[in-house]
A and B are shown apart, each in its own frame.
Chain A
Amino acid sequence: MNRTSQVSVTSRSGAQPALFGLPRVFWLAWRDLTLEFRGRAGLLAAVFFLATMLLILGLALGPLRSDLEKAAPGVLWVSLAFAGSLLAGRAFGLEVEDGTLDDLLLTPGSKEWIYFGKFLFQLMLLLLVALALLVMTAGLFYLPLKAWPALLFTVFLGTIGYAAISTFYAGLLARLRGREVLLPLLLFPLVVPVVLAAVRATAGLAQGLPVAEVADWWRLLLVFDAVYVTVCSLLFPLALEG
């Protein structure tokens, strides 16, 4: 039997141009952050995991200060990547746990704003964890914080790329069983370039290299961020359709 399928929308009275979705992006991110802090489960699990991981790595790589200092940039970013994989599902986990994903999908207009709202939430969550991690790595692994503005900038660029991909995959897998297992498997191969560039930039700053010598890694991170955010936001509506 020859079957064709087609969906068309004549007009959706609530549909708005993308620009006017900006307040909704911030409201969605703010709502999810509020929910995350009220529920606490995801954030507490990630911080506890981080503390345990850093302690184990410290014991395994120490006790010589020079060894710990050398390992610090790698420890920082590998720990953030692992803790990030725990938090990666939170962007849509909140919707799945409460069964509210359909309500979100029924909001008027195109669906890119949902991606940006969830991305912003994921970014803020990762930045909070990254800040805690930076302090812990400085304490346990002697990561020098002299160049802290440049370090923060590196962390910011690295987390943008990570959050862009994890938000996309979290949305893509939101309705699937076994998403907790699939998410890190899909996520890690794509974040490798971001983590590598971020490690190199952090290592340069830790060695006291001038900013001009680290700037190439920042440029690379910026390119990855721009590509990942653009591609993921464009593909996201298709990912939600399944």
Chain B
Amino acid sequence: MTPPLVKTEGLGKRFGQDWVLQNLNLSLERGELLVLLGPNGAGKTTLLKLFSGLLRPTAGTITHSGTPGFVANPPAFHRHFSGLENLAYALRLAGRPVDLAQVSDALSQMGLPPAKAVMNYSSGMKKRLALARLSLLRPDLWLLDEPEAALDTEGRKLLEGMLSEARKFAGVVVATHERSWVGQASRVLTLGGGAG
């Protein structure tokens, strides 16, 4: 039996004196889509970062298996590089072989110009570039922070197609404010507290 991609037991995270997350027990398998809902400050992004390993828990345990991939909101890239260069270096630094034709193909599928410097990209184009990066890196755990933000209708269709493809080999966690994700979700976790 394969271990879950991520499993938490009694997970808690505190910033200063404030507990953002407390006593969280869950696990995620390949093929599942976990949707995180909750108001601003409820801990959705914190939980994504805990899943990715970027943050360490204050309490409890978290067990990872497989590689995580994280799309932040907004996503970050080297602004002096083109989309093609950003993706090529992302693959090289992940220790993957680089096929520039494949990278160009991924960019054109997302409707992005390969040679344009990222400093001239719009927010929506950066989000598309982040999704293209994830599709090339093919991590085992897709962690998406408000993936629909800044995307137009066409971009959202691409995102939906990409996630249904990703669920064939990976687990997906989406932090969002949009309840439209609930229909596709394997599980929904509503986090309380926060500013709301």
Contact = CB atoms under 8 A, between A and B. Distances in A.
A35 B80 contact: yes
Interface string B59-76: 111111111111010001
A99 B76 contact: yes
B93 A28 contact: yes
Contact of A104 (B67, B80, B93): B93
Interface string B1-35: 00100000000100000000000000000000000
Contacts of B76: 98-100, 102-103
B55 to A, nearest CB: 10
A107 B56 contact: no
B95 interface: yes
A69 B92 CA distance: 48
B92 A106 contact: no
A14 to B, nearest CB: 4
A65 interface: no
A31 B81 CA distance: 10
B147 to A, nearest CB: 16
A35 B118 CA distance: 13
Q: Which of A13, A21, A23, A108 is most buried by chain B, counting CB atoms within 10 A of its CB?
A: A108
Interface string B30-53: 000000000000000000000011
A40 to B, nearest CB: 10
Contact of B53 (A7, A13, A24): A7
A204 B13 CA distance: 58
Given A3-B12, A10-B63, A27-B93, A102 B70 contact: yes
Contacts of A39: 80
B98 to A, nearest CB: 9
A155 to B, nearest CB: 29
Given A39-B80, A103-B76, A106-B52, A8 B92 contact: no
Nearest to A242: B56
Given A4-B59, A12-B64, A12-B66, A38 B80 contact: yes
Given A5-B60, A107-B93, A13 B67 contact: yes
Contact of A13 (B56, B57, B62, B140): B140
Contact of B59 (A3, A14, A16, A27): A3
A39 B80 CA distance: 7
A14 B60 CA distance: 26
A23 B12 CA distance: 38
A109 B80 CA distance: 27
Contacts of B64: 7-10, 12
Contact of A12 (B67, B78, B80): B67
| Residue of A14, A24, A99 with highest tally of chain B CB at under 10 A | A14
Contacts of A94: 78
B54 A35 contact: no
Contacts of A3: 12, 58-60
Contact of B92 (A11, A27, A35): A27
A157 B169 CA distance: 49
A73 B17 CA distance: 53
A241 B94 CA distance: 19
A118 B80 CA distance: 18
B181 interface: no
A14 B89 CA distance: 16
A11 B66 contact: yes
A235 interface: no
Interface of A: 3-14, 16, 20-21, 23-24, 27-28, 31, 34-35, 38-39, 94, 98-100, 102-109, 241
24 contacts: A3-B58, A4-B60, A5-B57, A5-B60, A5-B61, A6-B60, A8-B64, A9-B64, A10-B3, A10-B63, A10-B65, A12-B65, A16-B95, A24-B93, A27-B89, A31-B92, A98-B78, A102-B70, A102-B76, A103-B76, A106-B68, A108-B94, A108-B95, A109-B95
Interface of B: 3, 12, 52-54, 56-70, 72, 76-81, 89-90, 92-95, 140
Which 3 A-B pairs have CB atoms at the shortest separation, nearest pair first?
A: A99-B76, A3-B59, A10-B65
